[in-house]
Amino acid sequence: MLVKVHCSARAGRVWLVGAALTATLAGCGSPDGASSRIARIVMPYKVDVVQGNFVSREQVEALQPGMGRQQVREILGTPLVTSLFHADRWEYVFTLKRPGEDMQTRKLTVFFKGDVLERSEGDAMPSETEFVATLGARDAQGQAPALEATPEQLARYPAAPRQPASDAQPAAAPSPGTYPPLEAPVR
């Protein structure tokens, strides 16, 4: 598409800068050019993709045959997959995809007889602490810093004076009925 530009010194400079920029970018287009070198140096941040319901070993151990559907939902959360054709089966699927690694998938299926839990089966689930440890395992910084203050650091902040236990006044409980109504009265 051709664009008509008024001939002026400013338009000529804009055209010259645009032509120089186009020539520079065209020279970087080769596979061994500067753009590929920059791309190797500047790596974009790649996120971990977590999908589904994480179910911990503690949650699975809390399930007991004879529990109702609502009790199971309170322990495990809403199932990821329910089927009209298999109303007595709930699927809990969890996937974790990290850049450069194979996708991890864990699955738990709970079976009901009517509205009562009959059994559950699936993959071995990690405990919550094990799972959290695997999330932090890729951290390049390593260990978390110690959260302890030195005596010199504490000296910068003088402690508030404490009252002796005998002079301490118990905190007054809030009086009931001091809150405004949640809804306006209906008339």
- Mean of pLDDT values over 86-110: 88
- Mean of pLDDT values over 45-67: 87
Q: Are residues 37 and 66 in the same domain?
A: no
pLDDT: is 101 or 29 the higher one? 101
Contact, 108 vs 62, CB < 8 A?
no
Residue 163 is given by DSSP the state P
DSSP codes of every residue in 7-70? -SHHHHHHHHHHHHHHHHHHHTTSTTSHHHHHHHHSPPP---EEEE----HHHHHH--TT-BHH
pLDDT: is 176 or 55 the higher one? 55
The 10s digit of each residue's pLDDT in 62-75 is 999 999 999 999 99
Collapse the DSSP code of 93 into the 3-class scheme (helix H, G, I; strand E, B; otherwise coil) and give the result. strand
Residue 136: pLDDT over 60:
yes
Q: Are residues 88 and 32 in the same domain?
A: no
Report the CATH number at residue 93. Answer: 3.30.1450.10
DSSP codes of every residue in 99-117? TTSPPEEEEEEEEEETTEE
pLDDT score for 170: 56
Instruction: Please report, rounded to a whole number, the percentage of residues in the chain having pLDDT higher than 90.
Output: 24
Contact, 76 vs 92, CB < 8 A?
yes
In a domain, 75, yes or no: yes
Determine the structural domain holding residue 26 and report its residue range: 11-41
Residue 118: pLDDT over 70:
yes
Distance (Å, rounded) from C-alpha 71 to C-alpha 62? 10
Q: Exposed (0-12), middle (13-18) or buried (19+): which is 131, by Cβ within 10 Å?
A: middle
The last residue of one of the domains, among 128, 153, 178, is 128
Distance (Å, rounded) from C-alpha 185 to C-alpha 124? 54
In a domain, 56, yes or no: yes
Collapse the DSSP code of 76 into the 3-class scheme (helix H, G, I; strand E, B; otherwise coil) and give the result. helix
pLDDT score for 135: 73
In a domain, 85, yes or no: yes
Q: Are residues 27 and 61 in the same domain?
A: no
| Average pLDDT of the chain to the nearest whole number | 74
The two tokens of residue 24 are: 């520079």
Q: Are residues 68 and 97 in the same domain?
A: yes
Residue 140: pLDDT over 70:
no
The last residue of one of the domains, among 100, 128, 156, is 128
Q: Which of 54, 142, 138, 140 is nearest to 100 (CA)?
A: 138
Q: Are residues 57 and 115 in the same domain?
A: yes
Length of the chain, please? 187
In a domain, 69, yes or no: yes
In a domain, 164, yes or no: no
The domain tally of the chain equals 2
In a domain, 150, yes or no: no
The 10s digit of each residue's pLDDT in 79-95 is 888 878 888 999 999 98
